[in-house]
Structure formats: structure tokens, C-alpha cells
Amino acid sequence: MRLYGELQFLYEAQGGYGIQDSINRVCRGLKIDEAMASKEFDVLSGGEKTRVMLAKLILGARGSRR
């Protein structure tokens, strides 16, 4: 039980519960909807691929600031 508590603490300390909120916020801002998010990357248009890669950069940059 102690290990679970330690893991829970680490998860929360690293923003575990806020990750999905960050993803949703970035996707909304870049107009990445559910339909687009469910597609394979290879079938996206050039503009859609650009938005997905931008989202990846933004979310990666946020992760490195922790």
C-alpha cells in the first residue's frame, strides 16, 4: 500500500491528472477535433499534419518545463 501511495504522489507531482486537460486545450486551439484525432497520421492532409506536429511540439515543450 505504501508503494501505491508513493506512485500516486509521483503521478500527481508530474501533472498526471492535468495532462489530458492540456491535450484537450491544445487540440481545441489548433482545431483538432475527435474525427481528425482518430485518423492515422498518414491519411491526414498536409495542413492537418502540420497542426498535429505543432500540437506535439507545444505539448512536448510543456512537459520539459516541469
Distance in angstroms (rounded) separating the CA atoms of residues 27 and 61: 15
The sign one gets for the Cα dihedral 6, 8, 11, 15 is negative
Q: What is the pLDDT of residue 62?
A: 66
Q: What is the pLDDT of residue 56?
A: 96
Q: What is the pLDDT of residue 16?
A: 82
pLDDT in tens, 37-60: 999 999 999 999 999 999 999 999
Answer whether 0.75 is exceeded by the pTM: no
Q: What is the pLDDT of residue 50?
A: 98
